[in-house]
Amino acid sequence: MQQAWIFGLLGGLMIGGAAALMLLGLGRIAGVSGLAARAVGLADAGPPPALAIAFILGLPLGGWLMAQALGGVSLHFPPNIATLVIAGLVVGFGTRLGSGCTSGHGVCGMSRFSRRSISATLIFMASGIITVAAMNLVGLS
Amino acid sequence: MKQALFALLAGALFGAGLALSGMADPAKVRGFLDIFGAWNPTLMFVMGGALIPMGIAWRIQAKLLAPLAAERFNLPDTTKLDARLISGAVLFGIGWGVAGLCPGPAITDLALAPRPAFVFVLAMLAGMLIFKIITSRDLPMKETKTTGAIGK
């Protein structure tokens, strides 16, 4: 699809615009892992819980509205429940240990030229690339 | 109330962007990470697109004394690279590669593919809970060390 990169760019601008709203409006980093932990009471520090809950609820709401506008989006999940459970556990633990994920480190931190966030982003990208390559190699994908 | 509305709006814009960009699709994310195989470079545009408004926002932020709808900026000021950051990023990358999901898209997908997204998000929260339990165990131990006079 030739449209894919245009949609990617527009979607990216919206994501960055949303993070800019959080920064300039509320003075906070739009880091989804941290906000998710805060929203469910699993983080000791962070914004007021009501604020974190509102942001987290906004995600599926915005996704749903966009899917309606586009007439549906096609998603392809791993068919195996065990895959989702293992990946989820590791993502949850890893993002808390590393203090951020693709949004906090990748979008907010890198654009701030934070040494920590640039390092974290390079590391989790490399780690993800190696994981996918290794899974392909042993026929797990 | 005004702040929560602001956050809801930002979250909705974020989620809409994820759905439009293709990043909500785990297979596309795995395709992006598959640089030695059938590489799908689309998500480069997503990341590039997201960095533009944020790059501008940081420049504006540097000139502001306070955010528009809150009393002050609450931003991370840690600069040191430590083992926690590195091992956390390694682990997160592994999980990201295995399923093609990171926290934002996973939570957004609760509205688009409820069943698999729910399984992933529940496991993710369990992983966060395990982290909280482990680190809250660490803290009292450090405290007893500093007030060690009473200790054994």
- The domain ranges of chain B are 2-146
Largest Cα separation within chain A, whole Å, is 47
Q: What angle do CA B27, B31, B35 make, to 5 degrees?
A: 160
- pLDDT score recorded for residue A75: 97
Average pLDDT of the segment spanning A43-59: 96
Say yes or no for a CB contact (<8 Å) between B80 and A76. no
Choose among A36, A84, A107: nearest Cβ to B50: A107
* Separation of alpha carbons A105 and A63, rounded Å: 22
* Separation of alpha carbons B33 and B23, rounded Å: 12
Chain A positions in Cβ-Cβ contact with residue B35 (cut-off 8 Å): 129, 133
* Separation of alpha carbons A50 and A38, rounded Å: 9
Average pLDDT, chain B: 91
Question: Which range marks the domain in which residue A19 is found?
Answer: 3-137
Q: Are A93 and B91 in contact (CB under 8 A)?
A: yes
Instruction: Show the tokens assigned to A50.
Output: 């009501």
3-state DSSP call for residue B78? coil
- pLDDT score recorded for residue B101: 98
- pLDDT score recorded for residue A103: 97
Q: Are B12 and B4 in contact (CB under 8 A)?
A: no
Chain A positions in Cβ-Cβ contact with residue B65 (cut-off 8 Å): none
Residue A39 sits at the chain B interface (C-beta within 8 Å):
no
Instruction: Show the tokens assigned to A10.
Output: 């527009």
**Rounded to a whole number, what is the distance in Å from the CA of A93 to chain B's nearest CA?**
4
First-to-final CA distance of chain B: 50
Say yes or no for a CB contact (<8 Å) between B120 and A4. no
Residue B87 sits at the chain A interface (C-beta within 8 Å):
yes
- pLDDT score recorded for residue B37: 93
Residue A49 sits at the chain B interface (C-beta within 8 Å):
no
Average pLDDT of the segment spanning A54-74: 97
Say yes or no for a CB contact (<8 Å) between A27 and B20. no
Instruction: Show the tokens assigned to A108.
Output: 């907010």
Of A139 and A16, the one with more pLDDT:
A16
Give the pLDDT band (50/70/90) at residue A26: very high
Give the tens place of pLDDT for each residue, A103-134. Answer: 999 999 999 999 999 999 999 999 999 999 99
CB pairs under 8 A between A and B: 485
The fraction of chain A above a pLDDT of 90, given in percent, is 94
Give the pLDDT band (50/70/90) at residue A2: low
pLDDT surpasses 60 at A42:
yes
Length of chain B: 152
Chain B positions in Cβ-Cβ contact with residue A16 (cut-off 8 Å): 17, 49-54, 57
ipTM entry: 0.97
Q: Are A140 and A129 in contact (CB under 8 A)?
A: no
- pLDDT score recorded for residue B142: 47
Residue B62 sits at the chain A interface (C-beta within 8 Å):
no
Q: What angle do CA B11, B16, B20 make, to 5 degrees?
A: 150
Give the pLDDT band (50/70/90) at residue A91: very high
Mean pLDDT by 10 residues, chain B (152 residues): 94 98 97 95 95 98 96 93 97 98 98 98 98 82 43 34
Pick among A40, A91, A124 to test the B interface (most B CBs inside 10 A): A91
Instruction: Indicate the number of domains in chain A.
Output: 1
Helix/strand/coil percentages in chain A, nearest 5: 75, 0, 25
